[in-house]
Amino acid sequence: MHSPKLLNLLMFSLFFVAGTLLADNEIAELCPKHLWIRAPEKITLSDNEAVLVCGVRHNPAWDNVPLNQAMVHLRAMLQTRGYHFAKLSHEGDRDIVDTGSRVYVTESLVGGKPPADWNINKFRKVVGEPLTPSLLEDYQKRVESDLKHRGYACPKLESQAFAESGRIHLTIHPGLLGRIRKIDIDGVEGLAPEALTRFYAFAPGDIYDSYSLLLSSMRMEADGILQSTFFETKCVGESVDVHQKHLAGAPRILRMGTGVNTERGFIGYVDWKHARIGELGSSLTLGAKFSYRDTRRNIQQVLASARWFGLKSFNRLYLETSAGAVHESHENYHNLNVNFALTPTITWDNQNFGAVAGIGPTLNGTLTYRGEGRPKTFYSTIKGFVRWIEHELELNYGDPKSGLEFRIQAEASEYGVLSEITARSVNVDGRYLWNIGDLSPATFILGFRWRLSTTFAPDDLGGYNALPASLRTFLGGSSDVRGYALKEIPGAGGAPTLAYLGTEMRVAEVLPWGLQPIALLDIGRAGSETLWLNSPTYFSAGPGLRWASPVGVFRATLARGWASGRPSVASQRNYSQWQFLLGYGEEF
């Protein structure tokens, strides 16, 4: 026998659901004393829409919109919301518009001659979505963009929607796979064409790729050599001609910005740049950065740098000079480091990736006010680096979804060669992101990142303990083991050898409002000797959230850190803890 309370609760629930459904279809006033609407959801007109449907009081031209004209506008407006079968009826003294049910896409069909290896099912947010003109337009643009990325420079697409069945039919004629034949550039006063072509992620003879053109534009705008630029394409059979157009803008740029995160506290920067010096577009930058969390964690930095280009025939080769000073206070140390660097550098691209490499001397002076190392250290080094990054990752650096990035940095100093120390260090790091299923937009993004670094310093000159903080290495913080505070591992003095592997699964464009849940796992280890790792092993795991807000990306993680194994490098304190990190503009 059922309980009366349970029966009453069930009846109440049924009446509540039924009442809700009926309430959703109640008649609502759309235009005051003029037009009513019956819809399964609340329909609200924008100010401009209300003018076209309801008119404007005290305006003779729009005071009384004829009903048939109002219905023409209203039907178009309802179609933008997915209502395609609106009907007008008269009940008593009221004109009532019944929207009918919203139409959803039930199936997406493809006709024409799409590429043989092309999969229409990778395009998400089509089937099951309200059938609207904007959906159809966005779908066609995404397909067109994908075809142009694959080398079809001038595809032709036609789309049709059938509201009765909810079907979409897309006809695709990709055309021929094109290769870039020639490149024309609108002139910039005072600049040689080679000043712009060094930014190109493509070259004559390459298979056409719209992403490479977009990346080239992005590089020039980010550098400041041009304020705005884009490429026009023209197909001639299997050949593609490219024409660059631009708005040069002013050559001198002043930039500033502020931010905040839980590791650094308040952050700010300001810099001034002259981006077009000479016909090859050399540049000069003066800047300052600072952060302040508290008296034991703050940074002040000033920097002057220049890039000098001198050869048209080797327009990707330049000499980078820099001079700067960094005053840093951290729980582990407090120092002032002054440095000067002279680095011949070269960049290059192929169809899939870009790279930059440089090697040159540096001069450094460090004052250590607190922490490990000598009170004063002067040293010179030979420093080299290589960075390799796939074009797709570089193009979407602010919203990474897929691609590989790999970096190597090596540095060597020798006692007696303008140096009070001898040290060798190598650091290898990178990341890889995988858009699972190659979906558009992505659903799940799996990321990996890694770091391996080691430093050698001979014992007869004091060993690792004699090195300044600028040559010491640590783990902990948002860039690696997120269950620990910034530079917390392995302790105050750092470690000669570090290894780190992290992974992160992100649920990308599924939830509303740009919210993207994260699950993370980090593993790190430190070693007290060169090329050697000791216990314990440091772990961190936990959830996080990425929010692609209108003003930028916020990332928050809550990770539990713990250590496994006998401590040798680390201190004896408890290494099981929770760490909350909140940052702006950072990515995995």
Query: Are 519 and 491 part of one and the same domain?
Result: yes
Domain containing 142 — which CATH number?
3.10.20.310
Lowest model confidence (mean pLDDT) among 26-35, 172-181, 424-433: 26-35
Is 243 found in the same domain as 188? yes
Per-residue pLDDT tens digits for 468-511? 988 999 999 999 999 999 999 998 889 999 999 999 999 999 99
- Distances 26 to 38, 84, 98, 99, 255 between C-alpha atoms, Å: 6, 19, 10, 12, 54
Residue 459's pLDDT is what?
87
Q: Which of 32, 67, 98 is the last residue of a domain?
A: 98
pTM value?
A: 0.87
- In this prediction, residues 88-100 reach a mean pLDDT of 89
Which of 180-189, 307-316, 567-576 is predicted least confidently?
567-576
In-domain check, residue 326: no
Question: Helices 67-79 and 47-54 sit at what angle, rounded to 10 degrees?
Answer: 150
How far is 507 from 524, CA to CA, in rounded Å? Answer: 25
Q: What is the pLDDT of residue 6?
A: 42
Residue 408 pLDDT grade (very low, low, confident, very high; cuts 50, 70, 90): very high
In this predicted structure, what is the pLDDT of residue 66?
A: 86
Pair (482, 421) in one structural domain: yes
320 domain-assigned: no
Domain assignment present for 329: no
Shared-domain flag, residues 429 and 518: yes
Residues 388, 531 share a domain: yes
Domain closes at, from 247, 282, 307: 247
When the pLDDT of each residue in the chain is averaged and rounded to a whole number, the result is 90
Element (H, E) at 136: helix 133-149
Q: Is 478 exposed, middle or buried (0-12, 13-18, 19+ CB in 10 A)?
A: buried
For residue 570, pLDDT beyond 80? no
Residue 158 is assigned to a structural domain of this protein: yes
CATH number at residue 404: 2.40.160.50
Containing 564, the helix (H) or strand (E) segment is strand 552-564
- Is the residue at 341 inside a domain? no
Q: Which of 328, 324, 333, 334 is nearest to 364 (CA)?
A: 324
Residue 572 has pLDDT above 70, yes or no: no
Task: Identify whether residues 431 and 471 lie together within a single domain.
Answer: yes
State whether 198 and 166 are in the same domain. no
Q: Residues 510, 546: one domain?
A: yes
Per the structure, the complete domain to which residue 426 belongs is given by 375-584
Q: What is the Cα–Cα distance from 453 to 459, expressed in whole angstroms?
A: 19
Q: Bigger pLDDT: 551 or 570? A: 551
User: Does residue 8 fall inside a structural domain?
Assistant: no
Structural domain ending residue among the three candidates 50, 79, 98: 98
Report how far residue 432's alpha carbon sits from residue 449's, in angstroms, rounded to the nearest whole number. Answer: 6
- pLDDT confidence band for 461 (50 / 70 / 90): confident
At residue 335, what is the residue type?
N
User: Are residues 162 and 38 part of one domain?
Assistant: no
Number of structural domains, the chain?
Answer: 4
450 belongs to a structural domain: yes
173 falls in which pLDDT band (50, 70, 90)? very high
| Per-residue pLDDT tens digits for 312-351 | 999 999 999 999 999 999 989 999 999 999 999 999 999 9
Q: Are residues 391 and 501 in the same domain?
A: yes
450 plus 576 within the same structural domain: yes
Q: Does residue 359 belong to any structural domain of this protein?
A: no
| Confidence grade of residue 575 (pLDDT, cut at 50, 70, 90) | low
3-state secondary structure (DSSP) of residue 353:
strand
Judgement on whether residues 147 and 81 belong to the same structural domain of the protein: no
pLDDT at 564 over 90: no
